[in-house]
Chain A
Amino acid sequence: MRFFRLFAVFVRVGVMSELAYRGNFFVQLFESLLELGTALAGLAVIFAHTTSLGGWRPDEVLALVGVYFLMGGAIRLIIQPSMQQLVEGVHDGTLDFTLTKPEDAQLLVSISRVEIWKLTDFVLGFGVLVAALARMGERVGWGQAGAFALTLLAGGAIVYSFWLILATFSFWFVRVENMLEIFQSMYEAGRWPVSLYPGWLRFFLTFLIPVAFATTVPAQALAGRLTWQTLAESLGLAVVMLVVSRLFWRVGIRRYSGASA
């Protein structure tokens, strides 16, 4: 409960600081719509030449695009800005103020900045997902919906832990922003089913940079093509990543010594 109250506070701060720049909302909405339109037009071009892409039907790929935007929106809404703030905080010593607060520091840094206008990606992604669901119709049962929710949560946890691990490296290295940037550009690969990629790249996108669990697996769950094994892998990896990132964070924070304070 404390978490939700804290989160609500940070969201409110995010809203207040952004309401001063209302014009940005329309720019952001325009950019999100443009990106979504590009993705959909790209799909239209591809499905003008084929009826299925690597075994995925058009509405299933549409659902994947929805998940991609939903997850990307969540990343850009909270995870990326908060982690960038953390890296900056380590550089200039402002992390000191976070550490003195009577609350778990990992929790605080993880939600410390909310870029509220990025909600547009999140909402649009949700809309695409609903549209895809409507087209898939009764093929989606309760079991699939449950598996979808589980894998989506697990995917979110995996992506969050991965970002936290990368950002925690800033306790040792200075130029961590670059790594974050690289992840952001690799995430683009998640817009397509990972089963399309050749083995080495699929491995890379599944385990080294866990894009597959964030987008392909939830979409697979929705399409009812999730095996028990993948479900277990997804949940297992989520737990492992959460624990590992937590431990790594603890090691990192012990090394922190307030650069400029």
Chain B
Amino acid sequence: MRDLPQIYAQQFKTSLAMMLQYRASLVIWLIAHVLEPLIFLVVWSAVSRSSGGSVGGYSPGDFAAYFIVLMLVNHVTYTWVMYEYEYEVRHGTLSFALLKPLHPIHSNIADNVSSKLITLPGMAVVAVILALIFRPVFHLQLWALAAFIPALFLAFLVRFLMEWMLALAAFWTTRVSAVNQVYFVVALFLSGQLAPIALLPLPVRVAAFILPFRWTVGFPVELFLGKLTPMQALTGIAVQLVWLGLSLLLMRVVWRAGLRIYSAVGA
């Protein structure tokens, strides 16, 4: 464990070099990550304007702020491990990773962080351009901004572990795309990517509170925008910590069970 920082430093170097080779696919991710919030921004702004300038307490400017911040938070927390494990399990290349005396999740994390180091400046530029076009309205509060930083960090960790476990579905089935799609659909509604959670019907709001999705995207966004009370913010961070603990426990179980069933399909 003492060597972990060193290992990460090396891992970052290789990941960065690799990511720079795949610039085109980074651009494709970027477009997808900009387009979806942009579409919902436009749609909800239109709804807001047609109902007299406010829907559920959101003016067009509020929606612009919500979806621009959402775009950034979503980009910081997203992962693509499910595609990676599908490929690696199917082609058997995971076997090489398993030979190393280090848990493969570390290289997954390093890959994820280093690709975002490359794309975040681009994302920031896009956010500024969108802000100039759509005129977002911010009601920032200092304490909320301070609480946003740990909330974002926890959101990243919870989402990473969750989607990493989802990726391990590849051990059990070769039809992972259907599994992934179910996950993405649930996440679309419950994480706040389709609309601020407050605008959804009550049963969905309850589900969003209970399940982890909202805490990985929507919660940090609402916190940043000053939509939450200090009590709600504390509750949210507590829930994030609970999910973090649960995922850490669960991921060990799932990983061990998965390894037992893994037989390197393509190797």
Q: Check A54–B50 contact: CB distance below 8 A.
A: yes
The minimal Cβ–Cβ distance linking A103 to chain B, given in whole angstroms, is 34
Chain A count of residues within 8 A CB distance of the other chain: 32
Residues of A within 8 Å of B42, CB to CB, are 192, 196-198, 201
Q: Check B177–A196 contact: CB distance below 8 A.
A: no
Instruction: Say if the beta carbon of A92 comes within 8 Å of chain B.
Output: no
Instruction: Say if the beta carbon of A233 comes within 8 Å of chain B.
Output: no
Chain B count of residues within 8 A CB distance of the other chain: 33
Instruction: Say if the beta carbon of A49 comes within 8 Å of chain B.
Output: yes
Instruction: Say if the beta carbon of A130 comes within 8 Å of chain B.
Output: no
Given contacts A38-B185, A54-B46, A188-B36, is CB(A49)–CB(B51) below 8 Å?
A: yes
Instruction: Say if the beta carbon of A182 comes within 8 Å of chain B.
Output: yes
* Assembled-state Cα–Cα distance A120/B147 (Å): 47
- Where chain A touches its partner, the secondary structure class is helix
Q: Check A178–B24 contact: CB distance below 8 A.
A: yes
Given contacts A178-B24, A178-B25, is CB(A198)–CB(B55) below 8 Å?
A: no
Q: Check A45–B185 contact: CB distance below 8 A.
A: no
- With beta carbons under 8 angstroms apart, the residue of B28, B36, B50, B195 that contacts A52 is B50
* Assembled-state Cα–Cα distance A139/B188 (Å): 35
Residues of B within 8 Å of A182, CB to CB, are 27-28, 31
Q: Check B39–A189 contact: CB distance below 8 A.
A: yes
Binary contact track B172-190/A, C-beta < 8 Å → 1, others 0: 0001011001100100110
Residue in B closest to A23 when the chains form the complex, CB atoms: B175
Tell me the B29-84 residues at the A interface (CB within 8 Å): 31-32, 35-36, 38-39, 42-44, 46-47, 50-51, 55-56
- With beta carbons under 8 angstroms apart, the residue of B35, B39, B133, B175 that contacts A27 is B175
Residues of B within 8 Å of A207, CB to CB, are none
Q: Check A31–B46 contact: CB distance below 8 A.
A: no
Q: Check A186–B46 contact: CB distance below 8 A.
A: no
Instruction: Say if the beta carbon of B101 comes within 8 Å of chain A.
Output: no
Tell me the A167-211 residues at the B interface (CB within 8 Å): 175, 178, 181-182, 185-186, 188-189, 191-192, 196-198, 201
Q: Check A45–B195 contact: CB distance below 8 A.
A: yes
Binary contact track A134-176/B, C-beta < 8 Å → 1, others 0: 0000000000000000000000000000000000000000010
* Assembled-state Cα–Cα distance A37/B186 (Å): 11
- With beta carbons under 8 angstroms apart, the residue of A38, A41, A49 that contacts B56 is A49
Instruction: Say if the beta carbon of A53 comes within 8 Å of chain B.
Output: yes
Residues of A within 8 Å of B19, CB to CB, are none
* Assembled-state Cα–Cα distance A243/B36 (Å): 33
Tell me the B134-177 residues at the A interface (CB within 8 Å): 175, 177
Instruction: Say if the beta carbon of B18 comes within 8 Å of chain A.
Output: no
Residue in B closest to A52 when the chains form the complex, CB atoms: B50
Q: Check B46–A196 contact: CB distance below 8 A.
A: yes
Q: Check A185–B32 contact: CB distance below 8 A.
A: yes
**5 A-B pairs whose Cβ atoms sit less than 8 Å apart in the complex:** A37-B185, A41-B189, A54-B50, A178-B24, A191-B39
Which of A's residues lie within 8 Å of B, judged by CB? 23, 27, 30-31, 34-35, 37-38, 41-42, 45-46, 48-50, 52-54, 175, 178, 181-182, 185-186, 188-189, 191-192, 196-198, 201
- 15 additional A-B pairs beyond A27-B178, A38-B185, beta carbons within 8 Å, are A27-B175, A31-B177, A31-B178, A37-B185, A38-B188, A41-B189, A45-B194, A45-B201, A46-B44, A49-B56, A50-B55, A53-B46, A53-B50, A182-B31, A185-B35
